[in-house]
Amino acid sequence: MATFNFGTKNITYNLHHKAYKTDITVTVDWTNGVNVVVPEHITQEELEKVLHKKAPWILKKMYEFNEIKMFTPEKEFLSGEKFPYLGRHYRLKVTAHEKKSDVSLMFKKGCFLATIPKDWNDRQRQKELKELLQQWYFLHGEIKLRERLNLYSPKMECYPSKLVLKEQEMRWGSCTKNGTVNINWLILMAPMRIVDYVLVHELAHLKHPDHSPAFWATIQSILPDYESRKEWLRVHGPTLTF
């Protein structure tokens, strides 16, 4: 990580040197923050000049992402709230019973049905139902991801050693050196076409560990409209949360 100062602001960014680059590219997104890709021959003075020129735009984009997250209300896990799964929203119905051990959550007829003890307070309800719903996402999401993996792996001739659905802060996916593909479980809230993009993106890293033209060409050969999917994730990614 590198930093530069603009007025009273200290801006942190990821710096990448690429031999094929002829100019400096600066991008800002919710998952990876500020990314700067530069030619190998660039000097620090030249880089600083470009960063200071783009600083107002960088700060504006960072503010926009923070604002999106700020105005995405947290769920209270009450009857009537809707939860997204693969792009569709499903209503939650909570039923309270006298039995203290009567806790469950299931998906039936297009609705999440939860049963909780009658004496639970708001904090208990939110905590326990959030955990139960996350467990549901993990269980059913892993099944769906493996179905999609079986679809795309043969097409790309990319076979991960392991597929893991997990919680990842500020990343939708990652690929390790030993071939493990990790997918952020929150992506399951997005439409299937976006889930596919994240999966194909990480599978492509099995062949190309960087974001070179060859990497993006691999993705485009499978998902010709990948740029629109990537843009959807950039804009809507911060809203995929409980």
What are phi and psi for residue 108, nearest 5 degrees? Answer: -145, 130
Closest CA to 97 of 123, 77, 116, 121: 116
pLDDT score at 47 = 94
Structure tokens at 75: 């769920």
What's the one-letter identity of residue 172?
Answer: W
pLDDT in tens, the chain (242 residues): 789 999 899 999 989 988 888 899 998 876 678 989 999 888 999 999 999 999 999 998 888 777 665 556 789 999 999 999 999 999 999 999 887 677 899 999 999 999 999 999 999 999 999 999 999 999 999 999 999 999 999 999 999 999 999 987 668 998 998 999 999 999 999 999 999 999 999 999 999 988 899 999 999 999 999 999 998 888 788 888 88
Q: What three-state secondary structure class fits 103? A: coil
pLDDT score at 78 = 95
Q: What is the residue extent of each domain of the chain?
A: 2-70, 82-239
Please give the distance of CA 136 from its chain centroid, rounded to a whole number. 18
| Assigned fold of 82-239 | Zincin-like (3.30.2010)
Distances (CA, A) of 36 to 2, 17, 20, 48, 149: 10, 9, 14, 11, 31
Please give the distance of CA 138 from its chain centroid, rounded to a whole number. 15
pLDDT score at 1 = 78
Q: Cα separation of 116 and 24, whole Å?
A: 55
pLDDT score at 70 = 55
Secondary structure tally for the chain: helices H, strands E = 5, 11
- What's the pTM? 0.74
Q: Cα separation of 227 and 220, whole Å?
A: 9
Category of 102 on φ-ψ map: left (φ > 0), alpha (ψ -120 to 50) or beta: beta
